[in-house]
Structure 1
């Protein structure tokens, strides 16, 4: 999730135009990996199901039933965690990680929550996003310093976020736009507590902004909000939104699932129609994504989005320049359409230009850009 200082990212996109649609024109394809979905039940907070798959800038991660983590795709910064910097088009095992329960992927770094509540990190570390107290990259997992009781992790553009069992949120890494939520723009190579948040039940990280859900169903945001030219270094409440149960953050847009199964979106909208409201106009306040009901989870890429419905189908909208929507067409889609051939899905994940789905049968399916092999052996 590499940031550029302009309104749209450059390196985080990572799409080589000469390689568009080489992967079945965006048709979902199995990665050959197999994982098992699980839910988390902590003493204080109950979060959404743990993320057993994760899509990074140019790599993908999955957790297998035995707690091992497997990675595929680009490895220039060691983000595959196998002790090398050689990319792989087939899944390789992350070294020394057993008992993992959840994963997250940034642009060039990776995270895993362990069963004991500690967090492991590997890959790029330019801004301290590995949480080790240094800015030295690591091609094998290292423990994030001073963090225990973690139940979920998410990753932004060279920064990381963790939700603890007590409902507090902790962040580390790049802080150019205040995305660490500490009231400053100073980067940190070790976890620092996000100010003013407690009892949090779900978190999401975009390129340079973050979202959190409180038990009362309100949503709080901090970091960069380009569409309104507004930046906050501490969490502020998203206005006009209640009943939230799940959140996702893209490059410059945000998504929320409400308890009634509807999806609401706000932010940038000009590139792909990522707000799903039949327009290409950005907005600073949430509005419903049209035609979606029964949604249980969402995922956000650079300028496309995914929604998982309770019937196990996946719906998508926004840009499709690399086939990341998975509906078999190259055109921009301003309203949700079904991802072809996807049913029985339990989890979805989105990267800048590729997407992942975990099915209840334990198989992982991928579609979109594949120039670094991030689709896993297609």
Structure 2
């Protein structure tokens, strides 16, 4: 994709914008990508109605809904332009939950802010925070992920910690009890990547297979049943997995051959298999090859092709597919205008992309 040393990153957003989550200074939905008013971005993360951006200097900007403090700027007013998250630096990764936010620091610790009703900030309280607080007892973290109301951390030893809402077993500790401190996910070792869905969780293992736990009412765990699980189960028939992504009630896997598999809820076509039938085992996303990255929104899905263009499918009521329409799609369509994209993220009803310009 060219010489990164002389090219600049440019952030784009599209879809729902009622809270300003597109970051373009308006509150108008857009069914094609609009430019976010922020520069030097290296990573993006979309929550239900808010957005996070990691800048090259290790600080974080946020915009959109802020009722629960998820923008981390010390206030609770929504913002349709980026504001600085207070008091954190040396950030190397970000994750957005439904109404909370996470940041991984270079020292292997994690900061969290926003909604904390279920303990998803992991600070041993259930008090919302509009500035970052430390997640208790976490060190040696190498990756983070978030569900709607729960949080996940991958440690350097290949084990996983989880905290927050656990009504469907999404913490994976063998119980259905919420926790405001990180707990060990039972029986998981040699994990290389993690992902959060709305009420479920996913893990990629070193043997390139996938595990899942939590809500399974739509088949989003992919184990051939619709039984929720509070410990992890294998996703049926998946091998050679390179990346995982969680949607609202669906899941995605990128395989080593550049194709994508999907499972779970498909009411709006978010599995991309040319049907609207829920699936409790993985199916191939139609007409997708040469994929390099995937992301899941609440009821839509995204993929980057090798050529830097983006495809999207599923619910499109707010324009979150970015194809210039508001028509739902059960097969992938091209997102308008975008080329040279290397990062994507899916939110509640909005989408994000980072492009080299």
Partner of 2:271: 325
In the TM superposition, what are the counterparts of 1:166-181 in structure 2 within 5 Å?
Answer: 166-181=107-122
CA distance, structure 2, for counterparts of residue 149 and residue 345 of structure 1: 31
Partner of 2:82: 141
Q: 166, 188, 202: which one pairs with 1:241?
A: 188
The aligned length equals 316
Question: Residues 48-95 of structure 1: CA distance to partner in whole angstroms, max 9, x if unpaired?
Answer: xxxxxxxxxxxxxxxxx6212111111101111111111111111011
Partner of 2:307: 361
CA distance, structure 2, for counterparts of residue 190 and residue 94 of structure 1: 23
Partner of 2:29: 87
1:131 and 2:72 matched: yes
1:257 and 1:297 in contact (8 A); partners too: yes
Partner of 1:224: 165
2:99 and 2:149 in contact (8 A); partners too: no
Root mean square deviation, CA, Å: 1.4
* TM-score normalised by length of structure 1: 0.82
**Deviation of 1:36 (Å):** 8.8
Partner of 1:307: 253
* Structure 2 residues not aligned, in runs of 5+: 169-174, 326-357
* TM-score normalised by length of structure 2: 0.86
Partner of 1:338: 284
**Deviation of 1:359 (Å):** 1.6
CA distance, structure 2, for counterparts of residue 152 and residue 196 of structure 1: 18
1:158 and 2:99 matched: yes
Instruction: Detail structure 1 runs of 4+ shifted over 2 Å in the superposition.
Output: 35-38
Q: 223, 232, 235: which one pairs with 1:286?
A: 232
1:119 and 2:60 matched: yes
2:259 and 2:288 in contact (8 A); partners too: yes
**Secondary structure in structure 1 of the residue aligned to 2:239:** coil
1:253 and 1:267 in contact (8 A); partners too: yes
Partner of 2:9: 67
